[in-house]
Structure formats: C-alpha cells, structure tokens
Amino acid sequence: MSPFVAELIGTMLMILLGDGVVANVVLKDTKGNNGGWIVITTAWGLAVFVGVVVAGPYSGAHLNPAVTIALAIAGKFAWANIVPYIIAQFAGACMGAFLVWIMYYDHFKRTNDPGSILAVFCTGPAVRNYVSNIASEIIGAFVLLFTIFYIAGAEITPAKTPIGLGSIGAIPVALLVWVIGLSLGGTTGYAINPARDLGPRFMHMILPIKGKGTSDWAYAWIPVIAPLVGASIAAILYLSIK
C-alpha cells in the first residue's frame, strides 16, 4: 500500500466510525439514539485507533493535516510530501462521510432537526463566540500534537532495544484523542483536524438530505485554521525545549 492510499483509507475509516457514532447518537430512531457524550468520545478514540492500525505501517498514519504540518515543522516529515498527504486526508474524509450517509440513509430521512444532521458531518460551537471557539481548537490541537511528539515505543533498558508493539502501538494516540474529547470537547466538538471537519462539511453541502439546513460556512474556517495554529505552536515549543 502506498502512503497516499494508506492516508486515504485510514482517514476514511476514521471518519466512517467517528461520524458514524455521532449519527447513531443524534439521528432519529437509531438503536443508539441519545447515547450521550461518553459514547461519542469513546467511539471517536477507537475510530482513530482503527485508522492508525491500518495506515500506520505505510504512511505513519497522520490522518490529519495538522499532524502532517506539525511533523514537518519539527523536522520529522519531508515538506515535499505535505500536499499529497493532505489531499489524501481530505479525500478520505469525504469518502468516510459519504459512507455514513449511506449507512444511516433511512435515519437521515426520519430526522427533522437540521442541527442534528449537521452534527453528524462536522463540528460546531456550543456557544458561538469566535474568540473562545478559536482558543478551544488551538488548545485541543496543541495538546494532541505536543503529546504525540513524546509518545515513545516500548524499550528494554538499559540497552534501549526497541520492542515491536504491532497494532497495540496505536493505543496511546487513541487514548489521547479520547481524553481530549472528554475534557476539552464540550466547547466546539473538538475538530482538532481540518480534514475531519472540512471534508464531511463539504459532503453535507452536496448530499441530497431533506431538511438538512445550511452547512454553516461562516464557522467552517475555525476548525480548519485553529488546529493548524495549535499544532504549529506545539511543534515550535517541542523544538525549543527538546
């Protein structure tokens, strides 16, 4: 599998499962209706785990333009590879959102609340205050990337012989996304990933969903720009203190 295909498929699976749990919780007449925030944040963490397991051996499983750019700033990823990675991430996010629409097609038809329909695809603020909304996304992305820089593989000391962890090596980042959602996600829905928000938001705009309302493009720039800012700050701080 090429890195491009790995990023595309990994991101697609992450969005399918991540947006899928939101659909299960908020759409009408699903088995998981009103499952609550714990269900959503837990499944999102596991969705990241699945994406990382699949893409990790082939691309490093960025699955997020903020991760790709931060790693490049930190000198851990080639700048020349940024564009194809980001294209794959956005395309995979669109594909994942499309699959969620297919999966929950009957429930989209039964749901009359435009806000709930939009929430399946993308994030939105609990309180619309652009200054605090930007700050929330910057802080969330900073925690994500700064912690990623310090996630290490298992070693046998004192020789520091590395131990291959296989798929369980994806668990730390899944737990990280889970705790970000539990602790910091209540303000904006913790996009912390431009592809995760913009790709599905675009699909919300073009898919034929009755009563879906607008895609809230007035807010859409925040979950795109703010995570990139937070990730960049994390990379710069990492370089300054390592």
- DSSP alpha helices (H): ranges in 128-221? 130-148, 171-184, 194-206, 217-220
Q: What is the pLDDT of residue 242?
A: 76
Q: Classify domain 3-241 at the CATH superfamily level.
A: Glycerol uptake facilitator protein. (1.20.1080.10)
Kindly tell me the burial class for residue 84, based on how many C-beta atoms sit within 10 Å of its own C-beta (0-12, 13-18, 19 or more). middle
CA distance 12 to 138: 24
Which stretches of the chain score pLDDT less than 50?
Answer: 154-155, 163
CA distance 238 to 177: 19
Q: What is the pLDDT of residue 160?
A: 55
Answer left, alpha or beta for residue 67, where phi above 0 means left and psi between -120 and 50 means alpha: alpha
Q: What is the pLDDT of residue 154?
A: 46
Count of alpha carbons within 13 angstroms of residue 169, beta-carbon side: 20
Pair 136, 184: CB distance under 8 Å? yes
Q: What share of the chain is helix, strand, coil (3-state, %, to 5)?
A: 70, 0, 30
CA distance 195 to 218: 17
Residue 97 corresponds to which amino acid?
Answer: A
CA distance 111 to 1: 39
Q: What is the pLDDT of residue 163?
A: 44
Q: What is the pLDDT of residue 169?
A: 74
3-state secondary structure of 156: strand
Q: Where are the domains of the chain?
A: 3-241
Q: Is the dihedral of CA 165, 166, 167, 169 positive or negative?
A: positive
Q: Which two tokens stand for residue 224?
A: 């795109």
Q: Which residue spans within 47-86 are E strands per DSSP?
A: none
